[in-house]
Structure 1
Amino acid sequence: MVGVLRLSLTPRSQDRLIALCGLLGGAVLVAFKVYDRPDHVPLWAVLAPMLVMAALEPVRRTRPVLAVSVGGLAFVASLFAGSLLATLIMYTDLLYAAVIYGSRRMSRILHLTGGATVLVLSTLTAIYAGTPSALLVAVVSSLVFLAPVWTGDVVRKHRQEAETERLRAEQTALLSEMDRREAVVAERARMARELHDVVANHLSAIAIHATGAQSVARRQRRAEDDPLVEALAVIRENSVQGLAEMRRMIGLLRDSGGGEADESYAAPDLAAVDALLTKARAAGRDVGLAFDLTEQGERGEVPVPVGLAAYRIVQESLTNALKHSGPGLVTLRLDFRPAELRIAVDSPYRAGAGRELPGARAGLVGMAERAGLLGGSFEAGPRDGSWSVRAVLPHAQKSEGRA
């Protein structure tokens, strides 16, 4: 495979290269005496205008007025001393650069002076040498004084149009992005209203009715282990928890939709595990459950999705231990590793029929889905007389479809 070498020159380097090429070309022409009256014109008279033109090339972008003014004087001097093609070409380049990099006023002045020069030269030639010579002078002088100016004017207009189109495209893209964001904000606000007005109200009604049914059950003096009482407890607990999560979600939607932030609706993370254990210890005293937390490694900065998933897995595991475990010790281990977080929960296992309450195993499915979304693993089940929960949550999600 043949590589192509691409030279990237700065504008100043380009100007210097043009000056160097002009000098080399002029030196070759002078060496072969390719200029007017080589036998009568001294060499310095030919070289001086060429050197002036080459010296002006590096400033043709930064100081176009100076370059074209001094260059014009040097060009006139070369016509009287000994016209050299390299001097002529560099002068036309200065005219072109003056239109490109100069002001609009400079472009108008060069059009007027160029046209006036062509007119004066062709008129004088017609008077003293005849019409055919005048036509020739008009064509040649137009190529020298007007063609570079016209070309520069066309190029400048194209550049301005291109810049205008680029700015218009950027403005259109910005407006499109603003419209997209406004649509997202409006949709999130609508979702928040729907969740608040429909789903949250239904969950509130479920919780209220479950609480009322529990009151009726207590008046009927039903036992705590009665399946109906346990089912009502599960219904109320899940509806209250779902209502709290729904309110948190509504707060997040409103916050992302431009509303005021509500810290009570912030997504939970591992920092709230201690609060979970405190509640679990208080609830577990009556059933003979104790809870212990062990952490290994440096917690450091845990990504937000990983922290949220870990919190939910721990929360569900502790809740299941309170619902289904026998008396004993529930151990929670968090192993913080550089690339992943490992969660292990072991609780006393109580086998037997009659423990399948409404909503059973839905929590296990939810924990497995949270771990799977992060590219991790999850398993739960009886092991050595305990109910074991194991989850591995990578800090970075696995990429798919990588070629």
Structure 2
Amino acid sequence: MSGPLSHLKVLDLSRILAGPWASQVLADFGAEVIKVERPYKGDDTRHWGPPYLKDSEGQDTDDAAYYLSANRGKKSITVDITQATGQKLIRELAQRCDILLENYKVGGLAKYGLDYDAIRQINPRIIYCSITGFGQTGPYAKRAGYDAMIQGMGGLMSITGVPEGQPGAGPQKVGVAVADLMTGMYAVSGVLAAVIHRDQTGEGQHIDLALLDTQVAWLANQAQNYLTSGVSPERQGTAHPNIVPYQAVPASDGYFMLAVGNDSQFQKFCQIAGLDELAANPAYATNRDRVKARDTLVPLIESATASKPAAWWLEQLSAAHVPCGPINNLQQVFADPQVMARGMVVEQPHPQAGRVRTVRNPLEFSASPLQYQQAPPTLGEHTQVVLEAELGLSPGEIEDLRAQGVI
């Protein structure tokens, strides 16, 4: 094992995306992650396809691409936690782990003796992270929570999409499950903070993390805009609420993203666009002015940018250090020279497909480089080896558990 967290062991009882995303990051960082799944069925996302990973003969395997996106680097074991023997196996594994991740409904693990209060009795140093839709307290605590509904409840859909009154207006969710993904990232930072606390005090703890809390927290400047002004922000399409011009603009052959972040960049843009009269107009001199004059300024900019192809604008503006970029589909993203140069796609050997490609972790450590040796595991791929290595069970004992349907 390598990576900055190679000394840590994680017991992952989570499913779907938020928890698995967190445990994948921990695995990328070198932690040993034991993913516990239901016998025969596994994580729900294994079945969230098509597309599915294809085996060496070109046939669909049982693992959907969705599952592959969030489970690299882990060991999969199957345990039926509804059985007493299965609960005993989980408790014994928890005694040997530093971190436990779970995303069951509030109180869902208590009936199995696997809740935080039970686990800390046998491992006081455990860092136990519970991820739920709404948290362990509050009037919604017992409700189930999924990403799309959280994007709506947490305000994101009110500021995402075409502005009201324009064709196509209405609520829009983001194209990936950002509430889940951000919750996973907060889980990682919370767990690592708790590890530092434990290193200093010897004390483990419980982390209560909710999708709704996370969604509200990362509204960032939009939330602060509301708290400062008392006015709810509205949908502005690709435009920025606090900066102008900062949005997708038309070219003669499509669109590109223009992201003018300061007054000097605006002057440079105007020079390239042949809009010297705008650069000299005091009504547009500062960003404060431009935001105020958004409705009159943007149409003038769009009229100019529509006169030439996107490639011309990207070349000219980039040379002048005016931030801009293409609006790529995913084929274009993974063919982009910068993405390729940074090695954003990695391959690992896979027992069915031969090789599987995934998107690498974006962090680069100089002293403890990350390695990507374990592909997203097949269901129960590591049950035998984990039970033998961690709990000292014999092949015969493991076979008995399999016969009883425990694993």
- TM-score bracket relative to the smaller structure: under 0.3
What's the TM-score once normalised by structure 1's chain length? 0.21
Higher relative contact order (CA 8 A, sep 6+): 2
Higher helix fraction (1 or 2) = 1
Q: Which has the larger radius of gyration?
A: 1
Give the structure-2-normalised TM-score. 0.21
- Report which of the two has the higher share of strand: 2
